[in-house]
Amino acid sequence: MLRVRLCEEADHPSLAGVMAEMQAHYRVACPPDAEIRAGLANRPAGTELLVAEHDGALVGFAAFSAIYPGPGLRPGCFLKEIYVAEAARGCGAGKALLAELARLALARGLGRIDWTAARDDERLLRFYESLGGKQHPEKVFFRLTGEGLAHLAKG
């Protein structure tokens, strides 16, 4: 059975394991388990998490925040991350996470959900399009980190 709900503190140990798997999947460095759990406990205000459980095991999550303003000066939602453990792919967890996020967005008066996706992951792009998502090629994604972030902060 598949269940999606808002994350609770008791989910942090299992969620930390799924997040560590995600880091390995993307081939990026992963902090120690204790640091992941601390990050979950102290995440920035407004950051919310949905978790997906399959047969009682936590198998995926979606991290999101409300954003404002958007088109027509309406609030929206930004989906920062969605991940389903490799062993659970195909059970419907990804679709269930996005469907629950859509229900939450509408219930909260948020007029849209925005997210990014890897341009070269055709399977992922087809999945998002199958749910009704539309690509917006007129937008360009930017990121400011590390030295560039520090340089800008110094003025």
Whether 146 is in a domain gets the answer: no
Residue 77 belongs to domain spanning? 2-121
Residue 108 CB contacts under 8 Å (≥ 6 apart), including other chains: 66, 75
Virtual CA dihedral for 7, 10, 13, 16, nearest 10 degrees?
A: 10
Whether 132 is covered by a domain: the verdict is no
Pick out the chain residues at pLDDT < 50.
Answer: none
In the chain, the number of structural domains is 1
pLDDT in tens, 12-57: 999 999 999 999 999 999 999 999 999 999 999 999 999 999 999 9
How many whole angstroms separate alpha carbon 43 and alpha carbon 58?
Answer: 19
C-alpha to C-alpha distance for 30 and 151, rounded to whole angstroms: 25
The CATH code of the domain that includes 25 is 3.40.630.30
Query: What DSSP designation does 15 have?
Result: H
Strands across the sheet with 57-67, in order? 2-6, 48-54, 57-67, 76-84, 113-115
* pLDDT on residue 140: 87
- The three-point CA angle 85-125-133 to 5° equals 105
Rg over alpha carbons for the chain, rounded to the nearest Å, is 16
Q: What is the largest CA-CA distance in the chain?
A: 53
In a domain, 15, yes or no: yes
Q: Is residue 154 part of a domain?
A: no
What is the model's pLDDT at position 18? 98
- 139 falls within a domain: no
Q: Which pLDDT score is estimated for 92?
A: 96
Strands (E), the chain: 2-6, 48-54, 57-67, 76-84, 113-115
Please give the pLDDT value at position 154: 95
Residue 114 structure tokens: 């925005």
CA–CA dist 22, 29 (Å, integer): 10
How many residues can be counted in the chain?
Answer: 155
pLDDT of residue 107: 96
Token pair 């000066």 is found at 73
25 lies in some domain? yes
pLDDT at 139: 87
Instruction: Give a yes or no: residue 103 inside a domain.
Output: yes
- Please report whether residue 155 resides in a domain: no
